[in-house]
Amino acid sequence: MDSQVIAALLVRCQAGDATAWDALVEAYWQRLYGYAVRATSNNELARDLVQETFLRIVQRLDGYSDQGKFEAWLFRILVNLVRDHGRRVARHPTRSTVIHDGENGTDLADEMPGKHVCPSQPVQHEEEVERLQHALARLPELDRQVLMLRHYADMPFKEIAKTLNCPIGTVLARAHRALGKMRSFMEVTNETP
C-alpha cells in the first residue's frame, strides 16, 4: 500500500473513522498472519498475535505521528509479540495433555481442531514443510526473522531494515547467510536415511 494512502488512512483512523480502520486491517492482515503462522506453527496463536498487534496499534494510534514508518512499526510489534511468546513458552513449558483412563491414555492435543491431517494432503509435502520448519528453527533468531519477514510477510528488505532497526546491509547479509544455512540444513536432512 502506498505511503500516502496509509498516511491518509491513519489520519482518518485517528479521527474515529471505522471504515479507514477496516481498510488498514484488510491491507495488512494476511501478511501479518502469514508471518505469525510461520513463526509459531500454530494457526490460532498466529491469529491471536495478529489481533494483539492491531489492539496495540489502536491503543497507541492517537499518539502516533506517521513518518512513513507505519508498516515497520506494525511488523515490529508483531515480531516482538512472537519473540515474547517464545520466551514465555521456553520459561514455562506446557504440561502433558495426556489423560489416563485405566490402561489407555488419550492425548487431548490429538483431539483439538486442526490437529488431524486432511487425508488428501500428500505426506511428502507435509514432510517437506516439517523439514523446512525444522531448518528455520535452527537459524539464529535475527536471521530467521529476516527470512520470515521477507518470504512470509512479503516485505522488501528496506522495510525489514526499518522493522528490525538495523542497516540494510546487515539485513541483506543476514538474508544471504540464512539462505545458505537453510540450504545446508535441508541438504543434510535429504542425505539422512
Q: What is the mean pLDDT of residues 139-164?
A: 86
pLDDT single digits (tens) 142-152: 888 888 888 87
> Is the pLDDT assigned to residue 16 strictly greater than 70?
yes
Of 59 and 92, more confident: 59
pLDDT single digits (tens) 175-191: 888 888 888 888 765 55
> Is the pLDDT assigned to residue 120 strictly greater than 50?
no
In a 3-state reduction of DSSP, which class is residue 105? strand
In a 3-state reduction of DSSP, which class is residue 98? strand
* Helix, strand, coil percentages for the chain (3-state, nearest 5): 75, 5, 25
8 Å CB contact between 75 and 149: yes
pLDDT single digits (tens) 64-103: 887 878 888 899 999 999 988 888 877 766 544 444 455 5
Question: Residue 138: CA atoms inside 13 Å, Cβ hemisphere, count?
Answer: 18
Q: What is the mean pLDDT of residues 33-58?
A: 90
Residue 83 is which amino acid? R
Q: How does the average pLDDT of the chain come out, rounded?
A: 79
Cell of 54: 492491531
- Catalogue all structural domains in the chain, each as residue range(s) with its CATH number: 1-93 (1.10.1740.10), 123-188 (1.10.10.10)
Say what percent of the chain tops pLDDT 70: 79
Reported pTM: 0.62
Burial class (CB within 10 angstroms; exposed 0-12, middle 13-18, buried 19+) of 39: buried
